[in-house]
Structure 1
Amino acid sequence: MLAILLALVFAAVELLPGDAATATSERGESAADVAARRHLLGLDRPVWERFIDWMTGLPTGDLGTSARGQKVTDLLADPFPNTLLLAAVAFMLTAVVSLALGCWAATRPGRLTDRIIGHASTSAFAIPEFVVSVVLLVVLSLWTGWLPAVTTTGSDGTPATWTMLIMPALALVIPQTGWNTTIVRGALADQASTPHVEAAYLDGLPTHRIIWRHALPGAVPAIATGLATSTGMLLGGTVVVETLFNYPGIGNVLASAVSTRDTPLIAGVVICAGAAISVVLLAADLSRARTLGAQS
C-alpha cells in the first residue's frame, strides 16, 4: 500500500503545473539556467524512472535529495520527531477522553447525559481542524492571552515550552475525540446484549462495574481499531494545524515542498507518516487478534 501511495504521489506532483526547477529558480535566471537545473534534478527523465530510482534507495534509508540540493533525511531529522510528539500527545488525550466519555454515556443509556454526549460527539467530529484551530486562537490567545498564538523553538529545534503544545494538540484532539467517543459508546452498546453482560445486570451488579469489568474488555477490538484509524487523521491534520500555529513539524515542510514541486521531499514526508501509521495499525491488529483469541 505504501508503494502504491508513493507512486500516486510522484504521479500527482507530475500533473501539477510547473516543476521544481521553475519553482526554485531565482529572479533573472535565463531559460538555459533553468534547463540546466532541470537536467541536474533529473526532471528531464520519465517520472517512472525517477520513481524507481527513489524506491531503490529507500531500503538503505536514502530518501533522495531535495530540489535545493539538501538530503531529505536531514530536512526531516528535526521536524518529524516534533510531529510525532504532537501526534502522540493528541493520541493519548483522545484515547483517555474518548474512553471516559463513552463509558460515562454507557452507564446512563437513553438518559439526558447519553444524548448530550452523543450529539456533542457528532458535532465535534464534523468540525474541521482548521476551524477548531481558529476558535482556539481567538479564545485562548487573542481574547484571554492564556496561551501563545505561535510556536517558537529552542536551540534544539523543539517547542520552547510545553504550553505551546496545548492548542495544536487540542485542535487535533477535539474532532477525533468526537469520532472515538461514538465508537466507544457503540462498542459498549453492542456488548450490552451479550449473555455475560446481561447476566451481570440480572445479578444486580453496579452499572459502572459492569461497564469496566465485563463490557469494556469485549469492546477493546473495536475501540483499538477506531483509535488506530485516528492516527492517520491526526497525522493528516497536522499539515493544517502546524501551519496555523507555526509548529516546527512536517506540516510546514510538506506545505513548502508542494509549493516548490519538490517530489523527493513530499515522498519523504509521506513515507515517514505512512510508516508511523502502519506501525499503529499493526499494533491495533495484534491487539484485536489477541483479544479475540482470548475470548474464543
Structure 2
Amino acid sequence: MISFARLLIRRVTLLVTLLATVFVAVDLLPGNTARAVLGRDATPELIAAKERELGVDRPLAVRFWNWISGVATGDFGRTARGRSVNELLVDKFPPTLLLGGTALAVTVLASLILGAWWAVRQGGVSTRLLQPVTTMAVAVPEFVVATLLILVFALALGWLPPVTITGRSGFPSRPDMLVLPVLALAVPQIGWNTRVVRAALADAAQAPHVESAVLDGISTRVVLARHVLPFALPTIVASFATTVGMMLGGSLVVETIFNYPGLGAVLAGSVGDRDTSVVAAVVALSGVVIMGMLAIADGIRAWSLRGTR
C-alpha cells in the first residue's frame, strides 16, 4: 500500500510538472491571446482590456496557480473565447476516447495473435515476413499511414470514406468512417507490440518449468496459455499501457487528417489562440487516462507475478 501511494504521488507530481511546462511553452509561443480573439483590427486599448479580462497580464506563476487550484475542484476554467473548458471536454473527449479505445482493442487483439504465432512458429515463411513488416510498421508515423490508407482505400478503391462527417450526436455519422482513423492509429502500435509479445513469450519459454511441460507432452496451446503467458504478461501489459499514451498523442494528428470530431481540432485551434487553459486541460485529461491505464497495468502485473510464485 505504501509503495502504491508513493508511486501515485510520483505520477501526480510528474503530471503537475508537465502541466507547468505546458504553461511555460504556450507562453513562449509567438503571438498574443487577446489579439487572436479580437482580430488584427483590434486597438491597443481593446487588447489591453481583453488581457485584463483573460488574466494574461498577470505573472505566469500566478496564472498557473489559479488554474491548478481550480482543477483541484474540478473546474478547468474558461477558454479565451468565453466557453467553459469543462463543457468543451465533455463534447469532444468521448469521440476521441471512442477512436483511441477502438484502436487499442484492435492493437491488443492483433498483437497477441501475431506475437504468439511468431513465437510458436519459428522459422516459417509467414513468420519470417513479420520481421520486416513489423519493422516498417514501427518506423512509419501515423500521418504517413493515414495518407497511404486514404490513397489506397478511399481514392483508389473507393471502399471507405476519406473524411468524417459528424452526426447530431457529435460522433461519426456512419461506423465505416471509423475504419481508416482506427487503422492509422493501430498499425504502428501493432508493429511495436507484436515484437514485444513475441520477445516476451520467447524469453518466458526458456524457463525450466516450460521445458518440463513440453517434455511431458502437454499441447502447445496449453503450454502457451498456462506456463508461458503468465510469465510474459508483465512485459506485455506494460507495453500496452505505454501504447495508450502513444495513441492519445497520435490521435490528435489522425483526427486532423480525417476531420474527426475529437480533441485534435480543439487542441490545434487552442495552440493557435495561445489558449493555455485548453491546452493544459487536454494534457491533464490525457495524463489522467494514462495514469489510470498504468494503474491497471500495475494491478495486472502484480496479479500475474503472484500467480507464478
Are 2:229 and 1:216 equivalent residues in the alignment?
yes
Query: Displacement, 1:24?
Result: 1.7
1:134 corresponding residue in structure 2: 147
Query: Displacement, 1:112?
Result: 3.3
1:240 corresponding residue in structure 2: 253
2:104 corresponding residue in structure 1: 91
2:54 aligns with one of 1, 19, 41: 41
Query: Displacement, 1:192?
Result: 1.1
Are 2:173 and 1:160 equivalent residues in the alignment?
yes
Give the TM-score of the pair, scaled to structure 1: 0.97
Are 2:81 and 1:68 equivalent residues in the alignment?
yes
2:276 corresponding residue in structure 1: 263
2:244 corresponding residue in structure 1: 231
Matches within 5 A, 1:166-177: 166-177=179-190
2:291 corresponding residue in structure 1: 278
Are 2:137 and 1:106 equivalent residues in the alignment?
no
On the 8 A contact 2:230/2:308 being kept in 1, the answer is no
SS at match of 2:170: coil
Pair 1:135–1:160, CA change in 2 (3 A)? same
Query: Displacement, 1:208?
Result: 3.5
2:38 corresponding residue in structure 1: 25
- Matches of 2:92 and 2:159, distance apart in 1: 26
Letter of the aligned partner of 1:56 in structure 2?
S
On the 8 A contact 1:57/1:63 being kept in 2, the answer is yes
Letter of the aligned partner of 1:58 in structure 2?
V
On the 8 A contact 1:107/1:208 being kept in 2, the answer is no
Letter of the aligned partner of 2:308 in structure 1?
Q
Are 2:213 and 1:178 equivalent residues in the alignment?
no
Query: Displacement, 1:113?
Result: 3.1
- Matches of 1:123 and 1:71, distance apart in 2: 43
2:202 corresponding residue in structure 1: 189
1:205 corresponding residue in structure 2: 218
Pair 1:199–1:113, CA change in 2 (3 A)? farther
On the 8 A contact 1:106/1:211 being kept in 2, the answer is no
- Matches of 2:119 and 2:219, distance apart in 1: 13
156-165 or 196-205, larger mean C-alpha shift: 196-205
Query: Displacement, 1:217?
Result: 2.0
Are 2:307 and 1:287 equivalent residues in the alignment?
no
Deviations 1:235-273 (A, max 9, x none): 000111000000000111111111110000101111111
- Matches of 1:126 and 1:253, distance apart in 2: 28
- Matches of 1:253 and 1:117, distance apart in 2: 37
- Matches of 1:115 and 1:8, distance apart in 2: 44
Query: Displacement, 1:19?
Result: 2.4
SS at match of 2:169: coil
1:117 corresponding residue in structure 2: 130
Structure 1: stretches of 5+ with no match in the other structure:
none
Pair 1:113–1:205, CA change in 2 (3 A)? farther
Letter of the aligned partner of 2:77 in structure 1?
G
Give the TM-score of the pair, scaled to structure 2: 0.93
Query: Displacement, 1:123?
Result: 1.4
On the 8 A contact 1:54/1:63 being kept in 2, the answer is yes
Letter of the aligned partner of 1:68 in structure 2?
R
Q: Percent identity?
A: 49
SS at match of 1:121: helix
Query: Displacement, 1:209?
Result: 3.3
Query: Displacement, 1:76?
Result: 1.4
- Matches of 2:37 and 2:181, distance apart in 1: 30
- Matches of 1:135 and 1:105, distance apart in 2: 26
SS at match of 2:38: coil
- Matches of 1:111 and 1:157, distance apart in 2: 46
